[in-house]
Amino acid sequence: MAVPKRKVSKARRDSRKANWKAGVPTLVECPHCKAMIRPHTVCKECGYYNGKEVIAVSSKEKEEK
């Protein structure tokens, strides 16, 4: 069983736990409708991915946004 040889100080222990926070998500502009989307995902505004329509978005949903 692994047992520490020395006591770990509070500063050393807490510095390991200081880097848990999440970063800001990356956003890119949709080339079809210019909305900001996550990279490598289908655009929720227009339904396009990689230059092709993948999801049919109705005109009623487009008017609400």
Q: What is the pLDDT of residues 11-25, one digit of tens each?
A: 999 998 888 888 899
Q: Look at residue 52 and tell me whether its pLDDT is greater than 60.
A: yes
Domains of the chain by residue range: 26-65
Tokens found for residue 5: 């040889």
pLDDT level of residue 65 (50, 70, 90 thresholds): low
> Which amino acid is located at 8 in the chain?
V
Residue 61 in this model has a pLDDT that exceeds 70: no
Q: Which of 28, 31, 23, 55 is nearest to 39 (CA)?
A: 28
Contact 38, 26 (CB under 8 A): yes
Residue 28 pLDDT > 90, yes or no? yes
Share of the chain above pLDDT 90, in %: 68
